[in-house]
Structures are given as C-alpha cells and as structure tokens.
Structure 1
C-alpha cells in the first residue's frame, strides 16, 4: 500500500484516524503500532515472513537496549551494542548484499579459472529494511552513549520503529528526536489542518508532477539509449532528476503531514536541493535525515575532521562509499558514491569556496552535475551508462543511429509543460507563496483542487510506486 493510492486515502487513512482520535491517549500508541503492522503486512503479503522479521526486530532490539543500559562498564555496553548491530545489519546484508557478493565472487573465480561456482541467492528485498535498520541502530547507539534511556515499553519502541508514515522510505527519525513525543504529544485541530495541507501538497508533487514527468525517462529507456538524439538525452535525464526529487520529496511531505496529524514533529528531509551552489551544499539539502545519520553515527565516530586533512579525506571516503552501497547492491551505486566523494573532495580542497563566493558560477556548475550524478545513480548497466554519456557528449565518440530526427520536438510537446513546471517548482517559489498566504481561502481551495485532481489520477491508475521503495 502506498500513500498515493485509493486504498490508502479512501480506506486505510480515514479508518485509522477515526479510531486514533477516539481512543484515549494511553491507547494511541498501541493502535498506531497495530495499524502500522497491518499497513506493512499489506505491502509484504506475498512474503508474510517479512512481517515476522519486523516484529522480531522490535523484540530483539527492545531486549538489546535493556541489556546495554544495564551494563556497568563501557566495555560491556559496547559488547551488547555490537550484538544488536550485528543482528540488525545481518538481515540487511543477507537480503540486500549477499547476492551481489556471491555474483562478484563467481565472476572473480571465473577470471582466475577457479572451478568453483557458489549458488546465487535471489532474495526479495523486504520493503523499507534499509530505513528501519538505520533507525533502530540509532536507538541502540543513543542508549549506549547514555544520551537516552532504554525504552521501557515494547509497544512504544514498536511504534517508533514501525510507524507507517515513515516506515517505508523515511524520513529517518533518530529515537532521541521523538522519544518524548512517543509518550506525550499534543493533538490539535491546528496540527490536523496543517498536516492535511502538507499531505495534499506532497500528494500533488508525487501524482501530478513526478509521475507525469517521469514517464519521459520510462519511454526513452524503452526506446533504447542508442536510438535517441542528444537533445532528447538531456531532456530525459533532467526529467528523471525532477521525477526523483518530487517523488521522494512528495513522499517525505506526506509522511511529515501524517505525523503532524498524529501529534509528531518529523524532521524536514529536503531544503530546495536543486538550488544548491555546490555538491557539498546539495548534500546538506538533499535527504537530510540520511546525511545526518551518516554524520552522527559514522563520520563523527571515525574522527570527523578532527584528525587532520588525510584522516578527514579517509572518513569522507568511507561515508560516501557506504552512502552509495546503502542505495543499492550494484557497481553503479559504488561508482556513484565514489563520484560524489571526488566532487566533495575537490570542493573541500578549494573549489567550494569559489562556488560559494560566486553563486552564479555555482548554479551553472550544479546544472551540469545534478543530472550527471543521477545518471550514474539510475543506470545499473555500466555499458549502457557509457552509451548514454556518448549521447550527452557526442563530440567524445560515436553516438549510434537516432531512431527518428526531431525526437526531442515530439517528446517536448508531451512533456515540456511538466519539465518547465518541475524546474520552476524546484526553486521553491511556490512554497514560499503558499506559506505566506497559508490562511487565505484561495490556498485552501487550491490544495483541495490538487488533492482531488490527484485522487482522480489515481482512480485512472496513475499510482506509480515511490522510487525510494526499492532502497
């Protein structure tokens, strides 16, 4: 079940909130936990064992948190922390990376003429496992550091880990940020109204913009990269860049809106990233909760920037290699992470200061690098990546035969309006306008119109899954 579906909006959401608001405060977490398990089961009903995996994660980490807190010495606390993290990462590695590892070991054995072939595992990735694994690790580490107390209620910890608004694709919410809200939170009509507005805007971004502009990338992929012109190649990767942003940003807004309706304040996940003037600036604005997690639980524990330039570069390398692998078990994600590391290293070495000082130059720089970085991100076949790069930069080599001349004009007529709107809305100008006039009648009517237009599109079958579900 996805937020942008008739099943969620017309059935799950009304029933959930009707019961949620009727129940006394002491029962709200139990209902939220139970409903979240039901929500998750609907998504994994083809593999019901994944629901059991989720429940086991709650129970095991509840016990691990208790054991970590009970230890008198740091060494003993660390031992139980390691046990908990090994358990959590073990499942992630099994489902997400074992097949990739075996595939590459078999390729290595073949190259070395070793007559050994390991059996390939093709396991279906449990929905949201990358997100909820990081969330529960943050809980264990916070308890280990004595920054928070171990949760006394299994229901409350289950509510934190399984909460359906951010279970599948974030935002990644560190436990200490909402610990107090898990036990005592305020509900008001102001929060409900605000949450509904945010939800409606996120839904419109997803259904009316991301889904539509993303079809250009889908069509070009179906045609074959070798058969498109250079202008269409640029149009298509820009379309994918916009689709990815408004798809994920739309989901994050919907999650924040749903959380606000329940009395939770989830952190923002995006801050107009396409207006960044450097890649460093971009990653302060894009998927901010993931960046914050890596900073707090990987980069700083490694030493951050405290050990001199060489160690800082090493720590950056580790973070961006892991960031790439977190997004997927494929060599293109490794390459993507390394590309980002190189760009950030060059900016840290001096280019970043130039770009910050000359913002017009920085925007031009990012107009090039944003779509190029997403190109490496989206194309998993490295040979196809090479073909696409030749299409973007035809002066570097042969570009193949274009299927028909003027293809960009044809697709421009269909998708041009979505490209223009996507580029305009990526500046954030519309949200500044909505925020300034949030209590005006026309804003309420506009959001209502966007909501029902989105529902109509979903009724017609335009309810594409969120891109980040596969991570």
Structure 2
C-alpha cells in the first residue's frame, strides 16, 4: 500500500479511529490492531510475502528466548547464528541470488569460458532489507546483553511489522522502538497535529518535488546517449532532488504517521544537501542505515581505533556493503566505492567530524566558505548519484563521458527543456523552505512556528494540500521500495 494512494487515505483514518476511540484504553488490544493493520498494509502488495516476515519474526523471537534461557556463551552464540543465517539467508536468496549467478557467468566469460546457467524468476519482497536489519538489531543487541529479550510475542511481532516504517524505514533499533509497545499510550492532540504536519510535508516532497523531477529524469537518462552535456547535468541534478524528495518524503510520512499513533521514530534525514563535506553528508543522509552499519559492522571491525591501513579497509568495507545493501547491481557497489574514496581523505586528516553543528548556526545566510563547501559537496554527491541511477556500469561511464564534454556549456536541446522554466522556481522554493527549517526535524515545523496568525498558517497548509492534489496522479512508486 502506497502512502500517496487513495487506499492509504482510507486505511489510516480507519486505523486511527479504531486505535484511539475503540481500543484506546487497552494497550494490548491496540498492539493487536497495529499488528493486523501492519499485515494488511504489507500484504496489499502480495500476501505471499507475509510468510517471510512471519518467519523472521518467529525465528528472532525464539532466538531471543533461547538466549534468555541459557548462560552459556556458546549456546547464546548458536542462537545468534540461527537468526543471522535465517534472516541473511532469506535476504541473500531473494535479493542477490540472480546477481551472484550472473556475475559468476560473466567472470568465466572474461577468460573465454562459456558457462550455461539458469536464473530464477524471483520477485523481490518489498522492504525486505529494511525489516531484516530491524529484526537483526534485536537479536544482536540481546546477544550483546544491551537489551533484555521480550516475552511478549505480540509486541515483538508488531515491532517487526510496524506499518509506518515497515517498507522503507527508518530502520529502528529494538532498544528504542520495542519498549514503546509495552507502555500505555494516550491521545495527544498537539502530537497528532505535529504528525499531520510532517505527513503533509512528506507528501509535498514526494508528490510535488520527487515525482515531478522524476518525469524529466526518466526522459534524460533513457536518452542520455543522444543528449548534450548540459542536458545530462540537468538530469543528474534533478535526480539528486528526486531521490531526496522521494526517500526523505517517505521517512517524514512514516515518522508523522507513527506520531499519530503515539510512537516516536528516529529522524532519518537532516538536510543532507546542506552538508559541508561528505562525512557530514553521511551523518545526515539515511541516518538509520548509516548508524546501523556503524554500530554493527564498522565498530566491530575496529572502527577508527586501528592503524591507517585497517581504517582504510574498514571504510571501504562499510561503504561497499552499504552500496550492495541498496541493490544487486555493480552500479551500487561503484556508488559505495566512490563515496569511500571521497570519505577516506577526511578520515586520514582527522577532518571527518569537523562539521557537527548545523550550517550557518545563528545566522540567516551561510558564509562564503560554507556556501562553497555546500556547493562542492552537492556536486560530488550528485555525480555519485549517476552510478546509483544508471542501469549498468557501462551506462554510468557513458553518461560521465557525455557529461564532461564541450557540450556541457551548450543550451540544452532535449524536448522537455522549456517545461523546466516553471520547475526551477518550484525547486528553489523547496530548498528555501528546507533552509529556514534546517534546525528542525522537518522543514515546515519552523514555518509553522513563525506564522503566528492561525489564518495565515492554515492558508499555507491548504496551499500545500492544493499543490499535492495538483501534482498527484503520476503513479510513481517510492524509489527505495526496490531495496
């Protein structure tokens, strides 16, 4: 079920009404309702995939109980391995089986051997990477004795399948989200209004910005071999805004929806395009994933507390694994490797934590140094996005070759160029709203605080809703559903 669909527009109010006004005084009944609603939400795509999420839930719940019932470290480790093998096995089969087979055949082809293979017609379950990492955080933290295993199966199953963030995150930690299912929740009008505002802004990001940019991105990337460098530059920039609006928009809707139900989810984006270097970008982009890899992969490898060569190794591992997490394609691995190359100089010069504060803090405008740093970081991340968007490594390199051509300074000639005249002010207005709200968890939170006049404030809300309806109907799924 899509957040930007009519089905969800009916589904959410029904769940909200039952949750607060029918089962509002019974926490367990609320959890049962959320579990049923979550399975309906997820099964809307394909009910067969419910078996996978149910299997992961049962295995990890039993693994937690198994670790609780023994003091033997070896037995606890065995239960952890059961969880890892089952979850990563399912993820590996459904997401990476064909990739490894095809790569194996291609490798033999390079040395002149023709190896016959048969790939399977495997459908990738929506959101499998997200809920796999979420449930693994539970068993790993139980094994590390950071949290106590729960004996409440309903709460645990709801934690795994919680519909606001099930399909595309944020990837919540058990230590943060799971205890919230065991606490009484009371309706809070101010939190609900705040949640609705964040949902509204998330829909603006998705429907108005991402989907509109996506129309032109699809045209440009599909015809990149026939376009001049200036058109390709436009395509890359628009994709940067498309993927940000698409993914951070989903996160805003997810966090806002959870808040409507009395839950607190972590912030997944913190204005990454206002970053002053690549290290800051990764502290602000897909925060739940980057911190997951930091805590469960990077630090166990030694993190930055090892020699130079191992630090470089650890950075490459974390970025390559992050790239591979995104998809079974060499383009994602190349995207991760490129970010590792950009990150390592900052790490080795101890500048990877130079920018921990909000840019232009205490000021309306950034300094010239900050502005140039932000622009440089945006250019680097935008160029890296070309690998992320391309279908093959060859297409990505061809795109770069045509991009950095003398035609880069030519007037764009692709058919949709004139339509961009109205898109530019739309994107610039979006950037301005994000800028003034960069200290907040979502942009229009600041805008709402500044608009003291209720009539003016609600006029802005209705204007945003009008934009959503005006731009709706493009029928583009969220990009991160494929991951």
Q: Give, in whole Å, the separation in 1 of the partners of 2:41 and 2:31.
A: 15
| Structure 2 residue 378 is the aligned partner of structure 1 residue 378 | no
- Which ranges of structure 2 fall in alignment gaps of 5 or more residues? 356-366, 438-442
| Structure 2 residue 15 is the aligned partner of structure 1 residue 19 | no
Q: 1:36 aligns with which of 16, 35, 38?
A: 38
Q: 1:417 aligns with which of 415, 425, 444?
A: 425
CA apart distance, 1:405: 4.1
Question: Which deviations, in whole Å up to 9, do the C-alpha atoms of 1:146-194 show, x marking residues without a partner?
Answer: 1111111111111000011000000000000123211114331121111
Q: Give, in whole Å, the separation in 2 of the partners of 1:125 and 1:234.
A: 32
Q: Give, in whole Å, the separation in 1 of the partners of 2:214 and 2:336.
A: 23
Q: 1:423 to 1:192 in 2, by over 3 A?
A: closer
Counterparts of 1:279-358 in structure 2 under 5 Å?
279-350=278-349, 352=351, 358=369
| Structure 2 residue 465 is the aligned partner of structure 1 residue 465 | no
- Which ranges of structure 1 fall in alignment gaps of 5 or more residues? none
Local SS of the residue matching 2:3: coil
Q: Give, in whole Å, the separation in 1 of the partners of 2:157 and 2:79.
A: 20
Q: Give, in whole Å, the separation in 2 of the partners of 1:73 and 1:444.
A: 60
CA apart distance, 1:297: 0.8
Q: Give, in whole Å, the separation in 2 of the partners of 1:75 and 1:406.
A: 63
Q: 1:406 to 1:332 in 2, by over 3 A?
A: closer
| More moved, 347-356 vs 410-419 | 347-356
Question: Which deviations, in whole Å up to 9, do the C-alpha atoms of 1:355-378 show, x marking residues without a partner?
Answer: 869534422321320210111111
The TM-score normalised by the length of structure 1 is: 0.92
Q: Give, in whole Å, the separation in 2 of the partners of 1:170 and 1:34.
A: 19
Q: 1:406 to 1:236 in 2, by over 3 A?
A: closer
Q: 1:199 to 1:191 in 2, by over 3 A?
A: same
| More moved, 287-296 vs 403-412 | 403-412
CA apart distance, 1:350: 2.7
Where does residue 358 of structure 2 map in the other structure?
none
CA apart distance, 1:426: 4.8
Q: Give, in whole Å, the separation in 2 of the partners of 1:352 and 1:468.
A: 31
Q: Give, in whole Å, the separation in 1 of the partners of 2:427 and 2:394.
A: 27
CA apart distance, 1:436: 2.7
Asked if the contact 1:92/1:129 (under 8 Å) is kept, the reply is yes
Where does residue 83 of structure 2 map in the other structure?
84
| Structure 2 residue 447 is the aligned partner of structure 1 residue 434 | yes
CA apart distance, 1:457: 4.2
Where does residue 157 of structure 1 map in the other structure?
156
The number of equivalent residue pairs is 460
Where does residue 218 of structure 1 map in the other structure?
218
Where does residue 209 of structure 1 map in the other structure?
209
Q: Give, in whole Å, the separation in 2 of the partners of 1:90 and 1:196.
A: 38
| More moved, 435-444 vs 277-286 | 435-444
Q: Give, in whole Å, the separation in 2 of the partners of 1:58 and 1:355.
A: 40
Asked if the contact 1:199/1:253 (under 8 Å) is kept, the reply is yes
Question: Which deviations, in whole Å up to 9, do the C-alpha atoms of 1:76-120 show, x marking residues without a partner?
Answer: 211210111110000000011110000011122333344532221
Where does residue 135 of structure 2 map in the other structure?
136
Asked if the contact 1:274/1:426 (under 8 Å) is kept, the reply is no
Q: How well do the aligned residues superpose, as a CA RMSD in angstroms?
A: 2.4
Where does residue 443 of structure 1 map in the other structure?
457
| More moved, 435-444 vs 307-316 | 435-444
Q: 1:353 to 1:17 in 2, by over 3 A?
A: closer
Q: 1:177 to 1:439 in 2, by over 3 A?
A: farther
Structure with the higher helix share, 1 or 2:
1
Where does residue 7 of structure 1 map in the other structure?
7
Q: 1:388 to 1:68 in 2, by over 3 A?
A: same
Where does residue 228 of structure 1 map in the other structure?
227
Where does residue 362 of structure 2 map in the other structure?
none
Q: Give, in whole Å, the separation in 1 of the partners of 2:103 and 2:328.
A: 11
Q: Give, in whole Å, the separation in 2 of the partners of 1:392 and 1:423.
A: 25
Asked if the contact 2:216/2:416 (under 8 Å) is kept, the reply is no
Asked if the contact 2:170/2:266 (under 8 Å) is kept, the reply is yes
Local SS of the residue matching 1:218: helix
| Structure 2 residue 172 is the aligned partner of structure 1 residue 170 | no
Where does residue 394 of structure 1 map in the other structure?
405
Q: Give, in whole Å, the separation in 1 of the partners of 2:16 and 2:445.
A: 29
Q: Give, in whole Å, the separation in 1 of the partners of 2:253 and 2:421.
A: 31
CA apart distance, 1:322: 0.4
Q: Give, in whole Å, the separation in 2 of the partners of 1:203 and 1:385.
A: 30
Q: Give, in whole Å, the separation in 1 of the partners of 2:316 and 2:332.
A: 14
Q: Give, in whole Å, the separation in 2 of the partners of 1:422 and 1:236.
A: 18
Asked if the contact 1:230/1:393 (under 8 Å) is kept, the reply is yes
Where does residue 50 of structure 1 map in the other structure?
49
The TM-score normalised by the length of structure 2 is: 0.89
Q: Give, in whole Å, the separation in 2 of the partners of 1:351 and 1:228.
A: 41
